[in-house]
Structure 1
Amino acid sequence: MHPAPSLILFSSLTGLGLGLLAWLAVLGLASPPLWALGLVLAGAGFLASTRHLRRPSRAILAFTQWRTSWLSREAILAILALATLTLHGALLILRDQSPALLGALAAAIALTTVLATSMIYAQLRSVPRWHHWSTPALFLALGLAGGALLAAPRPVALAFLATALVLQLLHWHQGRTAFARAGSTLSTATGLKGEVRSFAPPHTGPNYLLREMVHVVARRRAAQLRLLTILLAFALPALLLVPDLRLLAAATHLAGVLCSRWLFFAEAEHTVGLYYGAR
């Protein structure tokens, strides 16, 4: 699929921001700079998501379909998460204390918001690479690992980095054969029996489906980005934790997550590509 910059920024920034805020809430840390950073990252991510809407003024409609839409659930959870996290953070900073139950609730809503974001993609059977339990697991692990780099004790941060790395490698591995395992072919896509071949593409010129759903990334470029992801998102942050350069470690990690998220979208194969000979 087409790797839209708005979606890459949205999913990466909100994951890091909410992950950081969840750690701050659970640990009860009264650090104004870290609370401000977490809220800015999460807020910037959610604002970036509106750039993918053709009419951003209608973003309010995203709150109305919570019964059936993970996007709608995510929008509602985001408001609840930012509200409870802001309240908990304000109490910690201004009064030096806040109910532990409020912190646990705020952290739980924040992580549920990250989960809802991941489910927007994991629910799609038409994109086999995403339709796997490793998608929500990876989103949560990356958010928690990034937040741990800034707020958690060093051994905890290293443990979450290692966990996120394992899930990242697993997600890449299962994604290589996901489309083949799904059994999607031009025959199943059209509902026709026997061997089906495309006589001509459905459209003679560029269109929305080709622009948004069909994207081909060179294998060499993908391999380079995977290596860059491992170095930036996991290896370098772990090394930077030794001299306790946490801000630099988190910034490097975020750069690696951006690479990972670009691949997440660019390598995703939508079944609509079958109609255009993309398989």
Structure 2
Amino acid sequence: MSTLFFGILFSFLGILFAMNFRKTTGNLKEIPQFGQAIHQGFSVFYRGFGLFAIVSIIVFWVIGSKYNFFEYLEQNIDFFTVSKMKVFYYLTFGLQFGFYIWSSLHFAPFGFNYNVGNEKGNLAYHIFSGFKGEGSVSEGMWVLENSFTSHHIDLYLKLAIIIPIALFLYAGYKMGKSKTFSWKSVILFSLIYSLFMSITAGFTNLEMVLKYNGTDVINKPTSLFFGFHPFGMFIRSFIFSFIVSYAGSFINKIVKKA
């Protein structure tokens, strides 16, 4: 489903790019009544996600080159032969973690759940409440907490919330300038944006379920989950984008009065 969605999405963007490569989604503004809302729903998503994806790709590239990460894996793991595909892996990891960071800024908890035999555990990170864990995974939670604190990652993430707020305010401001603006425009914008966030969350999740037989373990499933839950992402994205963009729609009125 996610693959189909992204196939349709990029095909649609390709059509818009061919129509006018300088605008791309800006062409959607020509749609009567709700054109600006549809355009902003597209553009806020790819601006925010794209920004953090580019930053993540650069960070992975710098760290990987500095510490020869892939060369080390090839030397120590027999089946790991990907040195010729480093660019692909930098792009993949960058896009993946870029979305994880962008999603965290929407107050969504990042989760890691596992079920190995009869042992279960989960670890979640929220941008304000930090790490919370259950099961054996919680025993090593202090390592992550210490790493985030010592490198000021938690502080940087809190400060980065300014970016989605600024994008939502700008989107609301642009919609508010439209002659056909109404609260329905903000709802449509939030729905489109939240749909992108939800489907991308499902697409970037890492989920694995294994069943195996052995002498000690018989028919005991192993499951792992790593990422964001799409439904929760949709709800949080919708509420966040709606409140801030609706507030942004009043900026135009304030500017006119001033």
Relative contact order (C-alpha < 8 Å, sep 6+): which is higher? 1
Write 1 or 2 for the structure with the bigger share of strand: 2
Specify the structure having the higher radius of gyration (Cα): 2
Pair in the same fold by TM > 0.5: no
Which TM-score applies when normalising by structure 2? 0.31
Whichever structure has more helix as a proportion of its residues is 1
